[in-house]
Amino acid sequence: MQEHDHDHDHSHLDEMDLRVRALETLLTRKGLVEPAALDRIIETYETRVGPHNGAAVVARAWVDAEFRQWLLQDATAAIASMGFGGRQGEHMVAVANTPDTHNMVVCTLCSCYPWPVLGLPPVWYKSAPYRAKAVMDPRGVLADFGVQLPASTQLRVWDSTAEVRYLVLPMMPPDAKGLDAAQLAAWVTRDAMIGTGLARAPQAPASSAPSA
Amino acid sequence: MNGVHDMGGLQGFGPVRPEANEPLFHADWEKRALAVTLAIGAGGQWNIDLSRSARESLPPATYLGSSYYAIWIRALENLMAERSLATREEMRSGTPDGTPPAPFRVLRADAVDASLARGTPSARPIERPARFGPGDRVLARNIHPQGHTRLPRYVRGHVGTVVLVHGAHVFPDRHVTRTLPPFDEDPQWLYTVVFDARELWGTQADAHARISVDAWEPYLEPAPGAEGRP
B161 - beta bridge partners?
A: B137, B194
Whether residue A38 lies inside any domain: the answer is yes
Specify whether the CB–CB gap between B64 and A2 falls below 8 A: yes
Average pLDDT rounded to a whole number, residues B156-184? 98
Rounded to a whole number of angstroms, the distance from the CA of B201 to the nearest CA of chain A is 7
Specify whether the CB–CB gap between B25 and A122 falls below 8 A: no
A107 belongs to the catalytic site: yes
B116 - beta bridge partners?
A: none
Whether residue A3 lies inside any domain: the answer is no
Q: What pLDDT does A202 receive?
A: 96
Q: Residue A206 pLDDT > 70, yes or no?
A: no
pLDDT in tens, A93-111: 999 999 999 999 999 999 9
Residues with Cβ < 8 Å from A58, sequence gap 6 or more?
A: A167, A169, A170, A184, A185, A188, A192, A193, A199
pLDDT band at A1 (very low <50, low <70, confident <90, very high): low
- The answer to whether residues A84 and A188 belong to one domain is yes
* Chain mean position to CA A160: 13
Q: Residue A211 pLDDT > 50, yes or no?
A: no
Fold of B123-222: SH3 type barrels. (2.30.30)
Other residues' Cβ atoms within 10 Å of the Cβ of residue B123: 17
E strand or H helix that includes residue A93:
strand A91-96
- Just give the CATH number of B28-118: 1.10.472.20
- The answer to whether residues A19 and A64 belong to one domain is no
Whether residue A209 lies inside any domain: the answer is no
Q: Which domain holds residue A140?
A: 50-194
- The enclosing domain of A98 has a CATH number of 3.90.330.10
pLDDT in tens, B78-134: 999 999 999 999 999 999 999 887 889 999 999 999 999 999 999 999 999 999 999
- The answer to whether residues A38 and A55 belong to one domain is no
Whether residue A142 lies inside any domain: the answer is yes
Q: Residue B7 pLDDT > 90, yes or no?
A: yes
Query: Out of A2, A34, A135, whose CB is closest to B65?
Result: A2
- The answer to whether residues A125 and A179 belong to one domain is yes
A160 belongs to the catalytic site: no
What is the pTM assigned to this prediction? Answer: 0.95
Rounded to a whole number of angstroms, the distance from the CA of A46 to the nearest CA of chain B is 7
Average pLDDT rounded to a whole number, residues A14-39? 96
Q: What pLDDT does B228 receive?
A: 53
- The answer to whether residues A63 and A101 belong to one domain is yes
Domain ranges of chain B: 28-118, 123-222
- The answer to whether residues A83 and A150 belong to one domain is yes
- The answer to whether residues A95 and A35 belong to one domain is no
As for how many domains chain A has, the answer is 2
Whether residue A24 lies inside any domain: the answer is yes
- The answer to whether residues A98 and A132 belong to one domain is yes
Q: Whose CA is closest to A26, among B87, B181, B62, B67? A: B87
